[in-house]
């Protein structure tokens, strides 16, 4: 469980019971069959929204084609009843199973795609299935009538029983969603949504978590579809695989509040009755007017509340008071830099590492070593290949040639999250945080990524926050941190995985002089605790303070390496930084 | 004899694939501007196509302003005139709705504003579809031209095998190609085109260079709307349509844009051409219901094998 999960779960659980009971009590008082139908459709569409929300809301994998799973559920239930006389009580779970399998089959090829390409490829699946079903002659499939056994065949004369079942399934779906949100599953998905690469660098196996999300989501969507078939009794490919069905999942969720448990429920509770009653009231007078009003309604509400109703209401009226943020680090006196030399055992060894992009040798024949407990500064002008070097080391890019070992084990040929699990923490030039989540959650991601069990993970995260001096801000949402605090947060996230080696990419970028000193103090203390650090940096004076040795890169090659003093007096370095003319003038 | 029939069928499918493909290509360029270059998810693009059809219909038939042009030239000039009309509508849409969920306002935000764009454009799409239903009725319409039932005959080529080129489609195809080339030249070589591309590529940097990014976005979006509308007007000459026809084509447009490689205008044209070509050629081997499924299968295959699109240069990184 994530930190702070039990009270959150309890609160949401109680809300779930109250809302379900109130809804059922209200529904039992409705006698008009048309309104009864609307009341059973609300939880079904909400459940469909919950399923979309898991993959696309939490995980950020925008799917325009969730109707695939909805339709698969609906058709499985109907055809199983038609051909095998299977009761929907078994048909719906079977549909969920088929939906989950479909998730695997669809996910395998499609997760190779990212962003827009993923979203659009998802769009193609339900439409391809739709045309195939039409071709196979399933244009219109009626539910076989078995009025004599309503309980067995789920064919109730009283619409309200469907509402009961739908609410039950929705409650189950919401429970799954709550458990996901409060576990490492949900945190992994939110991390992937923020930045897949940073999540992987924190040790998260993005592909696997995305696949799990899709499979869960597929099963839930198929369940919703299966029940939908029972309620409607007549199926057409368009009514369950059509583009408007996919749109329904997206609309109810975005409208209600994306990446929140209650979003799809709020969205469905408002939009489904709105659309249906517009249909009934206005549709007969002027055909089409209901669509215009509905379209205008969703546009207006979206403009008023771009993140969905849930977040707007919460941010406006239920913003929790923030803990006092006190100054984090009491500035410490600059310490005498201790020169370590190559005393410790060798931790990282890089030999003849090369990487080209087309004709450009971004990293060319680079060799160096980092000893345990040492801070190695990697410096060089823009475009020298510093970040590319890190990208090769932690598996973002493959090496063309060369060797890189951590404590004797090769780091090359592994995926990003696997390198992280070897004990390599990494930060990026651009900080990625989860703005709505408290700082502690932001850091726990790193501990989960390293594979720590729940309890240890929270401990490691708290410890990491203490090491960078942010423990007092643990409850503050990351969106309210300063730039320096965000940099330290990212450092803590890398530390939470208990790495042996830290690769820091321009951690000091964009910081003022004093802030810079504070971060340097943190790094200094980490080194004293025995941490090994390789850091990329532009600012020479900062590096002079903390680095034990420098490696200077230029045009992908190692220009020179050695102690800070040796390096700054090296003519080649001065030339690379300041140009040959400057050097000539100096010498003249 | 069988061989003759086969050859005739293949050649005719190829000819139809190329002519229809060029019109699809033009249609895809419109979305290519909006989605491929500006990265705005627009679900209402199909409705712009539909508006182009109706605009052309009301311009050239009955007591329309351009009715005097007659049934031969009228429909094609009507299609071209539908462009500016929908362009104006697109500019208004952008000013009042789209600008609020795209461009500088959402640059750098989580999800780049796509969630908002999805909902807003879905709303616009619903309003346009149903608004059209109220205003124009549900009866299928067509911009009739006698050319639609005449064809150039090429051949006989092999035995009796003859290629029939539908005159309406052929002219529509020619108009589409000329429009596409004109647009390409405008975007590539004029000051306006350069500022549009710069603004779409990096709004922040373009602002620093003194480009009025809001205006550039509005023009680019409206241009995308207008171009698709011209394609709609051209399609109306050989196809009957209703208020909901947009739904059938919006997917085809997205397939075309992605196939061609996002961010490239020429790519969008080639992508659209590919889709039209596959659709027509699949008629040779597949029953009609499966023709559209074939498009999606080809689409999925190409996207899997070449995620950067057939003509794109580099893949999108997360």
Hunting for tokens 């990026």 — which residue is that?
A428
ipTM over 0.90: no
Higher pLDDT pick, A319 / B229: B229
B290: which chain A residues are within 8 Å (Cβ-Cβ)? Answer: 131-132, 135
Rg from Cα positions in chain B: 20
**Residue B250: per-residue pLDDT:** 87
- Inter-chain CB proximity B262 and A296 less than 8 Å: no
Of B56-70, B77-91, B167-181, the range with the lowest mean pLDDT is: B56-70
H/E stretch holding A38: helix A33-52
A67: which chain B residues are within 8 Å (Cβ-Cβ)? Answer: none
Higher pLDDT pick, A114 / B309: A114
A303: which chain B residues are within 8 Å (Cβ-Cβ)? Answer: 97, 100, 120
- Inter-chain CB proximity A127 and B303 less than 8 Å: no
**Residue A334: per-residue pLDDT:** 37
Q: Which residues contact B34 (CB under 8 A, 6 or more apart)?
A: B40, B42, B45, B220, B221, B224, B225
H/E stretch holding A201: helix A196-201
Q: What angle do CA A77, A81, A84 make, to 5 degrees?
A: 120
**Residue A229: per-residue pLDDT:** 93
Domain boundaries, given as residue ranges, for chain B: 2-246
**Residue A48: per-residue pLDDT:** 96
Entry pTM = 0.85
Joined tokens for residue A522: 């943190």
CB A404 within 8 A of CB A393: yes
> In a 10 Å sphere around its CB, with 0-12 CB exposed, 13-18 middle and 19+ buried, how is residue A378 labelled?
buried
Query: In this structure, what DSSP letter does residue A478 have?
Result: G
Rg from Cα positions in chain A: 29
B114-133 residues touching A, CB cutoff 8 A: 114-116, 118-120, 122-127, 129-133
Joined tokens for residue A480: 């309210």
Q: Which of B126, B129, B316 sits opposite A114 (nearest CB)?
A: B316
Q: Mind giving me the DSSP string for A119-171?
A: HHHHHHHHHHHHHHHHHTT-SSEEPPP-TT-HHHHT--SSHHHHHHHHHHHHH
Please give the distance of CA A184 from its chain centroid, rounded to a whole number: 11
**Residue A171: per-residue pLDDT:** 96
- Inter-chain CB proximity A128 and B116 less than 8 Å: no
B165-184 residues touching A, CB cutoff 8 A: none
Pairing of strands A424-427, A501-505: parallel
Q: Mean pLDDT over residues B200-213, rounded?
A: 80
B66-85 residues touching A, CB cutoff 8 A: none
**Residue A326: per-residue pLDDT:** 40
**Could you say which residues of chain A have pLDDT below 70?**
319-343, 578, 582, 586, 588
10 Å Cβ neighbour count for A409?
A: 10
Q: What is the chain B residue with the closest CA to A436?
A: B110
**Residue B255: per-residue pLDDT:** 85
> Quick check: A430 contacting B, CB < 8 Å?
no
Q: Which of B100, B127, B296 sits opposite A127 (nearest CB)?
A: B296
Q: pLDDT tens-digit profile of A164-216?
A: 999 999 999 999 999 999 998 998 998 888 888 888 888 889 999 999 999 99
A264-303 residues touching B, CB cutoff 8 A: 286-292, 294-299, 302-303
> Quick check: A34 contacting B, CB < 8 Å?
no
CB A552 within 8 A of CB A560: yes
A258: which chain B residues are within 8 Å (Cβ-Cβ)? Answer: 115
Q: pLDDT tens-digit profile of A294-318?
A: 888 888 888 888 778 888 888 787 7
Instruction: Give the span between the Cα atoms of B111 and A56, in whole angstroms.
Output: 11
Q: Is the peptide bond before B156 cis (omega within 30 degrees of 0)?
A: yes
**Residue A98: per-residue pLDDT:** 96
pLDDT of residue B314 exceeding 70, the answer is: no
**Residue B310: per-residue pLDDT:** 67
Joined tokens for residue A532: 């090994």
Joined tokens for residue A297: 């309604």
Give CB contacts under 8 A, 24+ apart, made by A180-183: A180/A54, A180/A58, A180/A216, A181/A58, A181/A261, A182/A1, A182/A2, A182/A5, A182/A8, A182/A9, A183/A1, A183/A2, A183/A5
**Residue A15: per-residue pLDDT:** 93
Domains of chain A: 5-248 (1.10.3470), 346-587 (3.40.50.300)
């Amino acid at each position: 469980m994530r930190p702070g999960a039990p009270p959150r779960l309890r609160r949401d659980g109680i809300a779930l019971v109250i809302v379900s009971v109130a809804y059922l009590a209200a529904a039992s008082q409705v006698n008009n069959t048309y309104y009864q139908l609307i009341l059973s459709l609300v939880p079904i569409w909400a459940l469909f929204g919950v399923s979309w929300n898991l993959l696309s809301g939490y995980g950020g994998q925008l799917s325009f084609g969730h109707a695939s799973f909805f339709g698969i559920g609906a058709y499985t239930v109907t055809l199983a009843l038609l051909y095998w006389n299977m009761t929907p009580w078994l048909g719906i779970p079977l549909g969920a199973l088929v939906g989950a399998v479909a998730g695997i089959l669809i996910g395998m090829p499609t997760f190779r795609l990212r962003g827009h390409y993923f979203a659009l490829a998802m769009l193609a699946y339900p439409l391809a299935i739709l045309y195939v079903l039409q071709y196979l002659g399933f244009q219109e499939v009626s539910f076989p009538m078995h009025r004599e056994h309503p309980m067995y065949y789920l064919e109730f004369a009283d619409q309200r029983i469907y509402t009961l079942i739908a609410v039950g399934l929705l409650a189950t779906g919401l429970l799954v969603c709550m458990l996901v949100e409060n576990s490492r599953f949900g945190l992994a998905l939110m991390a992937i949504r923020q930045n897949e690469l940073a999540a992987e660098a924190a040790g998260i196996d993005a592909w696997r978590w995305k696949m799990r999300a899709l499979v869960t989501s597929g099963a839930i969507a198929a369940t919703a579809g299966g029940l939908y078939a029972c309620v409607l009794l007549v199926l057409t490919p368009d009514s369950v695989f059509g583009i408007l069905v996919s749109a329904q999942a997206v609309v109810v969720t975005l409208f209600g509040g994306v990446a929140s448990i209650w979003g799809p429920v709020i969205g469905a509770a408002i939009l489904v009755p709105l659309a249906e009653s517009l249909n009934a009231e206005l549709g007969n007078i002027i055909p089409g007017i209901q669509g215009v009003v509905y379209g205008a309604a969703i546009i207006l509400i979206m403009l008023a509340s771009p993140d969905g109703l849930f977040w707007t209401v919460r941010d406006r009226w239920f913003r929790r008071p923030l803990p006092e943020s006190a100054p984090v680090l009491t500035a410490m006196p600059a310490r005498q830099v201790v020169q370590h030399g190559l005393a410790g055992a060798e931790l990282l060894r890089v030999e003849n590492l090369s990487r080209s992009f087309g004709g450009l040798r971004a990293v060319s024949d680079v060799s160096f070593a980092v000893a345990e407990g040492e801070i190695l500064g990697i410096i060089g002008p823009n475009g020298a290949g510093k970040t590319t070097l890190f990208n090769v080391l932690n598996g973002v890019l493959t090496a063309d040639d060369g060797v890189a070992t951590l404590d004797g084990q090769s780091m090359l040929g592994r995926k990003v999250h696997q390198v992280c699990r070897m004990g390599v923490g990494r930060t990026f030039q651009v900080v990625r945080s989860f703005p709505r989540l408290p700082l502690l959650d932001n850091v726990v991601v790193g501990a989960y990524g390293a594979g720590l069990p729940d309890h240890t993970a929270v401990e490691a995260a708290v410890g990491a926050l203490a090491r960078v001096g942010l423990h007092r801000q643990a409850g503050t949402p990351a969106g309210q941190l300063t730039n320096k605090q965000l940099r330290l947060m990212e450092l803590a996230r890398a530390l939470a995985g208990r790495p042996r080696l830290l690769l820091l990419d321009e951690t000091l970028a964009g910081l003022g002089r004093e802030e810079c000193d504070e971060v340097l103090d943190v790094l200094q203390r980490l080194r004293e605790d025995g941490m090994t650090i390789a850091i990329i940096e532009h600012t020479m004076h900062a590096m002079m303070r903390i680095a034990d040795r420098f490696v200077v890169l230029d045009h992908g090659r190692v220009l020179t390496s050695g102690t800070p003093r040796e390096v700054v007096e090296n003519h080649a370095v001065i030339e690379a930084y300041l140009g040959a003319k400057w050097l000539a003038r100096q010498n003249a | 004899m069988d061989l003759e029939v086969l050859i005739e069928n293949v050649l005719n499918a190829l000819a139809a694939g190329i002519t229809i493909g060029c019109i699809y290509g033009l249609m895809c360029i419109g979305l290519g501007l909006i989605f491929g270059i500006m990265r705005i998810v627009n679900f209402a693009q199909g409705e712009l196509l539909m508006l182009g059809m109706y605009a052309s219909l009301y311009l050239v038939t009955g007591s329309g302003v351009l009715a005097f042009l007659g049934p031969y030239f009228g429909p094609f000039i009507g299609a071209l005139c539908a462009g500016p009309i929908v362009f104006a509508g697109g500019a208004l849409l952008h000013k009042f709705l789209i600008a609020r969920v795209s461009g500088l306002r959402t640059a750098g935000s989580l999800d780049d504003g796509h969630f908002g764009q999805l909902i807003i454009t879905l709303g616009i799409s619903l309003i346009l579809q149903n608004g059209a239903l109220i205003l124009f009725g549900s009866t299928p319409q067509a911009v009739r031209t006698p050319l639609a039932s005449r064809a150039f005959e090429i051949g006989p080529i092999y035995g009796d095998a003859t290629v029939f080129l539908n005159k309406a489609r052929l002219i529509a195809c020619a108009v589409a190609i000329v429009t596409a080339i004109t647009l390409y030249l405008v975007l590539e070589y004029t000051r306006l085109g350069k500022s549009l591309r710069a603004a779409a590529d990096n709004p922040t940097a373009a602002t620093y260079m003194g480009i009025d990014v809001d205006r550039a976005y509005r023009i680019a979006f409206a241009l995308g709307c207008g171009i698709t509308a011209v394609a709609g007007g051209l399609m109306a000459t050989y196809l009957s349509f209703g208020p909901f026809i947009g739904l059938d084509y919006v997917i085809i447009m997205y397939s075309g844009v992605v196939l061609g490689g996002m961010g490239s205008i020429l790519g969008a044209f080639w992508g659209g051409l590919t889709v039209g070509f596959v659709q027509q050629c699949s008629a040779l081997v597949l029953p009609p219901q499966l023709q559209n499924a074939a498009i999606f299968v080809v689409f999925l295959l190409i996207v899997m094998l070449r995620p950067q699109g057939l003509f794109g240069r580099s893949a999108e990184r997360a």
